[in-house]
Structure 1
Amino acid sequence: MTVPMRARSRREAHRAATPLELFFDLCFVVAIAQAGRQLVHALAEGHWGHGIGGYLMLFFAVWWAWMNFSWFSSAYDTDDALYRVVTLIQIAGVLILAAGVPRAFAAGDFGVVWFGFLVMRLAMVSQWLRAAYGCTGAERRTALTYAVGVTVCQVGWLGLLIVPAGDVPWVFAVVGALELAVPAVAERTWQTAWHPHHIAERYGLFLIIVLGETISAATVAVQSALDENDELGVLLPLAGGGLLLVFAAYWIYFAVPIHLHLRSNRQAFLWGYGHYLVYVSAAAIGAGIEIAVEESVGSAHLSLRAASACVTVPAALFMFTVWLIHSRHQKRGPAQQLVLPVSSVAVLACTFAGQLAVLAAGLVAAATVAMGATLTARQGTALEG
């Protein structure tokens, strides 16, 4: 049954992610895996600029499509038949986009990626138009502005299909900036009724999806290397260090109740946009572990230090970005505030630890978790006293 699409309340009790939202997130694993796989191939061959640039652009498309849906659903999820069908269409667009990632990476052909994005965005525009139909005044203008803004940006992405390959990054930068501006313009007079606890949960669940893909990619890489080379002594430190990094990434992120910080659009949008770096670095850790494994068995065309950097740089970026946009809002005192920034520098320094670089980075990450937990416990004891 179709019902009028009305804004949900920010004060709604016990608001949690729906099965449809969880299914939506899960389907993004395919696109994330494709982007990570192409990054591994490019960096393993020494094509740094092409690999990193392509990865950042394609991950932006995936992340932004997820962002659009997540914030809309937090405000207007009716969970009726029409809403479900439109969301399933968006999922189809994600899968089309994922299918086009290899071609975009290898040949700069963004046709399939653009079409998949088009399917997602047209579905998103229809959702905003439906929301506009069900409301009045400033709220209606906000919904219509979103619909128009998304449509204009989608037309802008046509530039990827017509400009020379060398100009693609410029098109991405310009249209990407326009995409980021749409929410600020649309909500300047009316704030949509997104739910702080729901948004915090949705972002956390998506991080779990990304970390799960990281573990999966690293596991397959280690298994393949064992099947082909049987270098257990070399691979164990890589596997152990990589696992510690992923476990620490989970612990560090979920150590604070961030929904208490999300009081208005100003805090929430900066926090939400900053997660691009959180997600892109978390996914890149898995790609880096794959590259380190390939280098250890002689399958990659890059140095040991460069392969180590493929793990330590995204791991350090993840730790610092989580502190910058997420954890620092709940930290008290200089000791707690300095743990993650100092640890990110220490992880970077592990790049120079030779064959034990990944293991060293994992141990630093584990020590970071232990230090953070100890300081939090001490603070709690002091407050009780």
Structure 2
Amino acid sequence: MEINPILIRLGILPLVPRDPAEPHRGATPLELLFDLVSVIAVASAASGLHHAILAFHITEGVLKFSASFFAIWWAWMNFTWYASAYDNNDSLHRVLTIVAMAGSLIMAAGIDRFFQTNNIDMIVAGFVVMRLAMVCFWLRAARHDPERRLTAYRYAVGIAIVQVYWVGLMLAQPIAVNLLVGFYAVGALFELIVPAYAESNNTTPWHRRHLIERYGLLNIIVLGETLLAGSLAIQRVASDNMGKELIGIAISSLVLVFALWWVYFSQKEHVAHPRLSLALLWGYGHLLIYMSGAAVGVGVAVLIEVVTGYSSLSTSVGLYTIAVAISGYLFGLWVIRERFELEGAGRYILLLTAIVLLFSPLILPIEGIAALLVIGVAIRNQYACKSVKQETPHGI
């Protein structure tokens, strides 16, 4: 394709598909900035869940947290997979990425309103802005990558059609909460179908190591919510002079983060096989991991409110929030990695630990929950060292 000199002067370069075997492929500064914007939205969703639990609107809070988090994660995930295959870092790519980030900020601004009034207008508006930027990305890919033109068109058309659904849902407000959740779930299902349908034609040249790094970086950001909650405990110790319980919460929150980080970033491979169904399972399955990682921090924050007397809830509410969130995190890892990459009893250690943790608040304080997690992760790592498959991995 002939290069227009005017476009070159504007910093717009030809879009060449990236090499999936490219060495030393890492996250770009623009992708890291995108993550920073996403974490603002994640913090807003976590804050909404925190306040809902304190008001004892737990079921409604979990549903709204899940809906908000899906929108944040889905927009991030779609951009990440596209960038892994087509990022050329020219001016047009940067402008479209900035537009997508602006949509993320609009979403973040509307999350609190959603929790308070059930109004999804700003969340939908921000989401649609991000998704329309993705339509432009895929139309550009279709123009420059004839081998995968049909795949790119399927993405662009599919995304655009689903946005019509979201706008219709927004205009149909107000809707009862139960109906809103149902319609939202249908829209989320439509969104999930688009990549599976598009990639079934001809897989885009995503870079395995690049995606592993990108997903790992977002996981670190999400776990930062728990570190923030632990820092809050330390601040309360300094200001309220309430020593033992808060110190225990602060130390335990750090232990929880380190254990969850350690088990995620083990030596076992992620995305070890390029088969589409398994790659999608790995990519989609991270939603549970990310949501659970953020919810651990919410549980710690709730526990702090209870211990310091700012909430009349029982400590069991905070403990159960933490335990259920950790269980979800471990179960998510088991679904996307452990059951494919480990053999023998080691394959089920995280699953067993997740089940035991669900019952731990009946008898254990947060220190005991943290200790139980560390024991489970340590045993799992010992088995993992002895359970190295000799054949080529057939998993994700």
The TM-score by the shorter chain falls in which range?
Answer: over 0.9
SS of the residue 1:326 aligns to:
helix
- The answer on 1:328 being equivalent to 2:339 is yes
| Deviation (angstroms), 1:310 | 0.9
For 2:183 and 2:199, locate their aligned partners in 1 and report how far apart those are by CA, in whole Å: 25
Q: Which residue in 2 is equivalent to 1:235?
A: 246
> 1:116-195 maps to which residues of 2 (within 5 A)?
116-136=126-146, 139-158=148-167, 159-163=169-173, 164-166=175-177, 167-195=179-207
For 1:223 and 1:95, locate their aligned partners in 2 and report how far apart those are by CA, in whole Å: 29
Structure 1, residues 140-175: CA drift from partner, whole Å, max 9, x if none?
111111111111111111203414133210111101
> 1:207-286 maps to which residues of 2 (within 5 A)?
207-220=219-232, 222-223=233-234, 225-226=236-237, 229-259=240-270, 261-286=272-297
Letter in 2 for 1:125: V
- Whether the 8 Å contact between 1:29 and 1:213 is mirrored in structure 2 is no
- Whether the 8 Å contact between 2:281 and 2:336 is mirrored in structure 1 is yes
Q: CA RMSD in A?
A: 1.9
Letter in 1 for 2:376: T
Give the count of matched residue pairs. Answer: 377
- Whether the 8 Å contact between 1:110 and 1:161 is mirrored in structure 2 is no
Higher mean displacement: 247-256 or 301-310: 301-310
Structure 1, residues 105-151: CA drift from partner, whole Å, max 9, x if none?
101121211111122111111111111111225x1111111111111
Letter in 2 for 1:300: S
Higher mean displacement: 143-152 or 53-62: 143-152
Q: Which residue in 1 is equivalent to 2:377?
A: 369
Query: Cα 1:133–1:326, aligned 2, differ >3 Å: closer, same or farther?
Result: same
Structure 1, residues 72-97: CA drift from partner, whole Å, max 9, x if none?
00111111111111111111111111
For 2:268 and 2:205, locate their aligned partners in 1 and report how far apart those are by CA, in whole Å: 20
- The answer on 1:40 being equivalent to 2:50 is yes
Higher mean displacement: 61-70 or 315-324: 315-324
> 1:19-58 maps to which residues of 2 (within 5 A)?
19-58=29-68
TM-score (norm 2): 0.91
Kindly indicate whether structure 1 or structure 2 has the higher relative contact order, using CA contacts under 8 Å at least 6 residues apart: 1
- Whether the 8 Å contact between 2:227 and 2:297 is mirrored in structure 1 is yes
For 1:71 and 1:379, locate their aligned partners in 2 and report how far apart those are by CA, in whole Å: 31
Higher mean displacement: 279-288 or 298-307: 298-307
| Deviation (angstroms), 1:262 | 3.4
Higher mean displacement: 322-331 or 149-158: 322-331
Q: Which residue in 2 is equivalent to 1:62?
A: 72
- Whether the 8 Å contact between 2:339 and 2:347 is mirrored in structure 1 is yes
Query: Cα 1:212–1:329, aligned 2, differ >3 Å: closer, same or farther?
Result: same
Letter in 1 for 2:20: R
Structure 1, residues 174-217: CA drift from partner, whole Å, max 9, x if none?
01000000011112221111111111111111101111232113
Q: Which residue in 1 is equivalent to 2:93?
A: 83
> 1:110-121 maps to which residues of 2 (within 5 A)?
110-121=120-131
- The answer on 1:287 being equivalent to 2:298 is yes
- Whether the 8 Å contact between 1:243 and 1:362 is mirrored in structure 2 is no
For 1:262 and 1:168, locate their aligned partners in 2 and report how far apart those are by CA, in whole Å: 38
| Deviation (angstroms), 1:63 | 0.3
| Deviation (angstroms), 1:258 | 2.5
- Whether the 8 Å contact between 2:230 and 2:249 is mirrored in structure 1 is no
- Whether the 8 Å contact between 1:45 and 1:301 is mirrored in structure 2 is no
- Whether the 8 Å contact between 1:160 and 1:168 is mirrored in structure 2 is no
For 1:188 and 1:378, locate their aligned partners in 2 and report how far apart those are by CA, in whole Å: 37
For 1:301 and 1:155, locate their aligned partners in 2 and report how far apart those are by CA, in whole Å: 44
For 2:310 and 2:267, locate their aligned partners in 1 and report how far apart those are by CA, in whole Å: 40
| Deviation (angstroms), 1:99 | 0.9
- Whether the 8 Å contact between 2:27 and 2:214 is mirrored in structure 1 is yes
For 1:362 and 1:57, locate their aligned partners in 2 and report how far apart those are by CA, in whole Å: 28
For 2:88 and 2:366, locate their aligned partners in 1 and report how far apart those are by CA, in whole Å: 46
Contiguous gaps of at least 5 residues in structure 1: none
For 1:348 and 1:360, locate their aligned partners in 2 and report how far apart those are by CA, in whole Å: 13
Letter in 1 for 2:221: I
Aligned residue among 12, 16, 19 for 1:6:
16
- Whether the 8 Å contact between 2:234 and 2:247 is mirrored in structure 1 is no
TM-score (norm 1): 0.93
| Deviation (angstroms), 1:58 | 0.2
